[in-house]
Chains A and B, each alone.
Chain A
């Protein structure tokens, strides 16, 4: 909406959202749960956002159907809203495993403020929590719950936590930091059943090896799925997410999609991919907005990225951090277990394809820039992971391009 208003201050703009006021930052639910972020701090935009941007807002409402032929959206109470251009930004919803007991009282997901509030209430009576899933959301939930006094166990199916983002060494550093704070981690196993007490609440989880973990609360964090319901069985093409081109256009004219629901260009695979990450959502949303308002703008492409602050272990991982063995990747590593500090760069044909920084992350963005721009780093690759690495290590030509104003 901000991008649309930058180009077109006057056109009529309507939003339909299930969310109630105010607009809050979902990634802050962990901080909200443990009290680090009060309500005021979780506000992503001002309370006057709709008004300031001249947006007609249907909040707490649901769009149930889209008629693409006659160009209107039907709401839950039957109203029809006509459109010339439509953006589908329905996001994603947490994936729930098909296991016995998943409907027990005390089973939560961890993506909304309502989830966080419910979890907090439950925690007042029940300290033992099992977090299913050791990904980004699982680790975030585990930290917040532990900070609130929860006795937390993470159960992760893969052999390491954050398996999509990290390699064994980085994952192990984080694992130690998590254990240091009293959170238990079980990897290589999955929850097969959630046992209910007589009153229908959670009593324990049972793992695939038969191990039984008594608990009163379960947080499910095994990933999210695009919310494509609105366009299923329509002419809008859906693969894993809604298929969009570099201008965030779907296969139907004047219909756009962005964020978690979209399957957009991915820099690393050079194909399309659903990337449910905030920076991607924001950037693709702006691109969609500009194009809808008539200012042509191409989406540069997303890249898998994680910046983590959890358990006092700052960490940034971008791109292909675990290249398949045998492929033509060159891997550079600096590991100092005592600090702890770990750095890894993955190169192919002189170009950075992925990197991990643990501990010393302040210059991570420079590496991210080199990666996303496909810069040939062969000439200075030995400096990439050094302590003093910075713009000073880049070629003068590249630095001039980056700091162009200074040479004008």
Chain B
């Protein structure tokens, strides 16, 4: 199974992963429209953390034993049996924030305009997730790892 790996030693903190994540999860898929016209603007599912000189991007790690799935009150957060991805159904989410309380990576975002959680879905329609494809320094890589 392929997963996103984080290489903090080569991250420049440019934030392009966040920009491209927002665009990919926007309606228009256009950077100008996504930033200027879409209200509320979609949230980035990846977050760049910085404490100079250190920086890195962090998103859902698709844990093998996901605490967010244990915590989910509504059944919106589920572990897909085949892909072993942690999938979140926004339609079922009740915005109780319990998953946020337990995610070790602080990787879930509160979409307060819709009262739901949003998270990394590994860009299911793309071969390579948008954050990885647009990282100029290969600080995010998409690689086959042993899962399960």
Contacts and interface: CB of A to CB of B under 8 A. Distances in A.
Interface residues of A, number: 43
B97 A44 contact: no
B51 A393 contact: yes
- The listed residue with most A CB atoms (<10 A of its CB), out of B5, B55, B100, B108, is B100
Contacts of B97: 307-309, 314, 316, 361
A222 B115 CA distance: 28
Contacts of B115: 309
Interface in A373-408: 388, 390-393, 399, 402-403, 405-406, 408
A365 B74 contact: no
Interface string A329-366: 00000000000000000000000000000000111111
B86 to A, nearest CB: 13
Interface string B94-119: 11111111111111111010010000
Nearest to B93: A41
Interface in A267-326: 278-279, 282-283, 286, 305-309, 314, 316, 318
Contacts of A363: 106
B145 A25 contact: no
B16 interface: no
A125 B94 CA distance: 28
A366 B106 contact: yes
A278 B98 contact: yes
Interface in A30-54: 31, 36-37, 41-45
A95 interface: no
B31 interface: no
Given A369-B104, A391-B105, A392-B51, A279 B74 contact: no
B71 interface: yes
Nearest to A44: B75
Given A365-B103, A365-B108, A402-B105, A392 B73 contact: no
Interface string B62-99: 00000101111111000000000000000110111111
A309 B102 contact: no
A27 B97 CA distance: 12
Contacts of B51: 388, 392-393
B38 interface: no
Nearest to B98: A307
A279 B108 contact: no
Given A314-B110, A366-B104, A392-B50, 18 more contacts: A31-B94, A36-B94, A44-B74, A279-B71, A286-B70, A305-B98, A307-B98, A308-B96, A308-B97, A309-B94, A316-B101, A362-B100, A362-B108, A365-B101, A365-B105, A402-B105, A405-B145, A406-B6
